[in-house]
Structure 1
Amino acid sequence: MHTYNEAIQWIHDRLQFGIKPGLERMEFMLAQLDNPERRIKAVHLAGTNGKGSTLSYMRYMLQEAGYEVGTFTSPYIEQFNERISVNGTPISDDEITKLVQIVKPVAEKLCETDLGEATEFEIITVMAIYYFGCMNPTDIVLFETGLGGRLDSTNVIHPLVTIITNIGQDHQHILGETVQEIAYEKGGIIKNGVPIITAIEQLEALEVITPIAKEKKAPLYVLGKEFMSEYKGQSEGGEAFSFSCAFGSLPHAELTMKGKHQVKNASLALMAMHYLKTYFSILVDKEQMEVALHKTFWLGRFEKVQDNPTVIIDGAHNPEGVKCLVDTLQTHYCDKRITIMFSAVSDKKIGEMVPMLEELADKMVFTSFDFYRALPAETLAEYASKEHVVYGDFKVAIDETLAEIGENEICVITGSLYFISEVRKYMKK
């Protein structure tokens, strides 16, 4: 394994082993590497939506205060390497290659046991943990779960703080059909004595999370109870709000990222920062918080990628994400004619997402992209009840759609994050 391309190919070849929830393979591989997870100061984030945005707010605040911040996120938008980043900069091709050279023999040793082959996500998670534990230690690492929480590969870390953004209907074939079942899986990342910060709103979900926190003696901080935020309305280019908790307050904060849901994500990040400041002397002052919140940006989340005509891309890949997108468009672009282009993968609730988008859209465009789980455009269009256009190739869809858009119109391209990744690459060209 000598080149970056060989390393990436070896990682991607492991997609054939699918999704296998469980921690035994992770624990085996990390033990072979002398348990690098024990050397990391971490924050662990789970939730149906908002993980990436909450993580980004925290990263920007920590960076503004001069800390070196590692992040582990998924999926990637521009390049594979960004899944493991330091201060927002993806690690190098040489580092990816070196990590594969270290992890590959461990994975081969694993497959000789009864535990079987490691999945792609398990391999990437081990690479990230080894990188931050041994190759390039940082002041703190922000780990985003891949799927669920209890049996997610990242659940081998013991964090300083745990965050669960929200509970929604996604990956139900793995996590369970009910809110309670999904909450139980997310709540599986709660550790003994480690504070849990959440914006969960459903009473039935909180009734699952609360006893888990109590059993593990984990202090529980719920948005709207132990910490508060108040939406103040639109600011220039974003949202304005105030924040308060027992450890401090921010009377006026402004976000560049649009959407009322971003106020919740930012509030989670602020609560986590105040806790880290109070109990772990991670020092970030009010001014640094305010500056960082205004600077925060996250690829593919209500991101304007073109003017004249305006094109916005957003990875709204489940019903909760679509609702947030629709609300944000109604708030900021109610005076515009809106064309929505949509593509999704096979395990999503298309029957719930399409009607919400149709309610807002003046024109619907369905398309597809080159990904093994991507649904054909014709299949997506079967859920439509209004007049629509179908394109098999998303590049043709973009070219022809934008050629027809008028002055008072915007185009919103949304759906799978894998789709958004491909769209963003194409739009940059």
Structure 2
Amino acid sequence: MAQERFVTKEDVFNWMEQGCASGIQPGLERMNWALERLGHPERRLKFIHIAGTNGKGSTAAMIAQVLKKAGYSTGMFVSPYVTEWNERISVDGRPIPESSFVRWAEQLRPLAEEMDREVGKPTPFEFWTLLALCYFAREAVPWFVVWEAGLGGRLDSTNVVFPLVSVITNVGLDHIHLLGNTPGKIAEEKAGIIKPGVPVVSGAEDPDAISVIEKRAKENKSDLYLLHRDFWAEILESGPGGQRLRFGNVYRTLSDLQLPLHGEHQVKNAAVALMTLDLLRQFYAAVLEDEDIREGLSATVWPGRLEKAADRPDIWLDGAHNREAARALAESVRAIRRSHTYERLHLMLAVSADKEVDEILTPLLPLADSVMVTRADISRALPVEQLADAVRRMAPEMEVKKAPTAAEGLRRLREEAGSGDMILVTGSLFLVSEVRSMLMTNKEQGW
């Protein structure tokens, strides 16, 4: 009996529950098998491949925005999405239309079923990756594609491309059960995206991680550009609207750059993005005027990364979900509180069960006057009571409240917090996505 054709995105998602393998299955065998049968669409595209523990999405957004301002049609593949399902695949900031998504999924379904018989089912992320490659190469045809790795790098499904530049934003401890329990081991996975002769830009700061990346670059005869050694950025001024910074490298200096994103870590991400763009100018003849860079950087928006999403009380969102991200967030919040006279800080938390809860809580709890623990609407969310126990264990004097859902937690906090207070929603990008969606809906409805 013939299968019914996909008509809506829901048809595709429902099929993926059975047609795709569950869980994370690192390896490139399935991807290489599929791309061979598809005629290697990835070979038609010019990629900037980005891996790293944190900051991949922000860095990708900055690069893509500058390229767009310079007049280059630019595709972007990122994960996870924050607001809308199709944000993962976009061209010039426009997410893939549902009609295109459904059409390419329909064309890939027979291949996925053949894969199941020959080499095993694709994972959902592999299916998304294949769909993105087909869409970019055979329909949208952007000039550049900013290509974000999912997990790790070496065995990630995105690591089937030969990029113009390889980017490793930074290296920290996350997904240690899959990638390793030291920065050096994790760097080995991230550095797996380095290709022979392709220049590498990295914001890594851990000495062991840098050593691994340097070794891999040398083996591949790839020029390596390191933050603090070959390029740098400094904050000139911070305020409610973002940050003003100066960037420099071995070639030149750019001053008085405006970055709407908050936090010192975003300045480092900006430095990585700007160095990458300079390499595109020098080695690949990309026409990027200084004004394109200024306008692109100042127009960069990346939802859910230290984003102020509501006022009175001010609600800030940040998807910090590992130790390094939580530490960076804590530093940024301290800076924000120096420029804002917030009376109290209310922390709204959810964490996935596979994360190191204590490492996330340690830098954040000292900032809070109260904590609301909840859970994101995903199967691997840490139960509310377990998260509450962890908070009480680490901060016995803390006022801890519990909410069974993000919606309930947000409603209560907005009622209880004063107009001069700060609510910080963090610990999980899934939680941030839920809360942001609710806040945006409220704004649209005039609440």
Moved more, 391-400 or 262-271: 391-400
1:89 maps to amino acid: R
- In structure 2, how many angstroms separate the alpha carbons of the residues matched to 1:112 and 1:37? 24
The answer on 1:357 being equivalent to 2:361 is no
- In structure 1, how many angstroms separate the alpha carbons of the residues matched to 2:422 and 2:92? 33
- In structure 2, how many angstroms separate the alpha carbons of the residues matched to 1:98 and 1:306? 37
TM-score by length of 2: 0.93
CA contact (8 A) 2:31 2:160 kept: yes
Corresponding residue for 2:406?
A: 394
Corresponding residue for 1:212?
A: 216
State the secondary structure of the residue aligned to 2:349. Answer: strand
Moved more, 282-291 or 157-166: 282-291
The answer on 1:419 being equivalent to 2:423 is no
- In structure 2, how many angstroms separate the alpha carbons of the residues matched to 1:17 and 1:274? 40
Give 1:30-429 correspondences, 5 Å limit: 30-113=35-118, 115-235=119-239, 237-334=241-338, 335-336=341-342, 337-384=344-391, 385=395, 386-429=398-441
Report how many residues are paired: 428
TM-score by length of 1: 0.97
1:340 maps to amino acid: L
1:361 maps to amino acid: A
Gaps of 5+ in 1: none
CA contact (8 A) 2:406 2:434 kept: no
- In structure 2, how many angstroms separate the alpha carbons of the residues matched to 1:85 and 1:56? 11
CA contact (8 A) 1:17 1:117 kept: no
- Structure 1 stretches of at least 4 aligned residues deviating more than 6 Å after TM superposition: none
Moved more, 348-357 or 193-202: 348-357
- In structure 2, how many angstroms separate the alpha carbons of the residues matched to 1:183 and 1:368? 31
State the secondary structure of the residue aligned to 1:11. Answer: helix
TM-superposed CA distance for 1:248, in Å, is: 2.9
Corresponding residue for 2:445?
A: none
Percent same amino acid at aligned positions?
A: 39
TM-superposed CA distance for 1:294, in Å, is: 1.3
TM-superposed CA distance for 1:138, in Å, is: 0.5
TM-superposed CA distance for 1:233, in Å, is: 3.0
TM-superposed CA distance for 1:303, in Å, is: 1.2
CA contact (8 A) 1:73 1:84 kept: yes
- In structure 1, how many angstroms separate the alpha carbons of the residues matched to 2:155 and 2:7? 32
1:309-340 per-position Cα deviation (integer Å, ceiling 9, x unaligned)? 11111111111111111111100124322111
State the secondary structure of the residue aligned to 1:17. Answer: coil
TM-superposed CA distance for 1:14, in Å, is: 5.2
State the secondary structure of the residue aligned to 2:301. Answer: coil
CA contact (8 A) 1:247 1:278 kept: no
1:206-235 per-position Cα deviation (integer Å, ceiling 9, x unaligned)? 111111100100100001111122222315
- In structure 1, how many angstroms separate the alpha carbons of the residues matched to 2:366 and 2:97? 44
2:120 maps to amino acid: G
Corresponding residue for 1:18?
A: 23
- In structure 2, how many angstroms separate the alpha carbons of the residues matched to 1:41 and 1:23? 20
1:10-49 per-position Cα deviation (integer Å, ceiling 9, x unaligned)? 2344565211100000001111110001101000000000
- In structure 2, how many angstroms separate the alpha carbons of the residues matched to 1:251 and 1:369? 41
State the secondary structure of the residue aligned to 2:194. Answer: coil
User: Relative to structure 1, is the Cα distance of residues 169 and 251 closer, same or farther in structure 2, using a 3 angstrom cutoff?
Assistant: same
State the secondary structure of the residue aligned to 2:426. Answer: strand
Gaps of 5+ in 2: 442-447
- In structure 2, how many angstroms separate the alpha carbons of the residues matched to 1:14 and 1:285? 47
User: Relative to structure 1, is the Cα distance of residues 289 and 263 closer, same or farther in structure 2, using a 3 angstrom cutoff?
Assistant: same
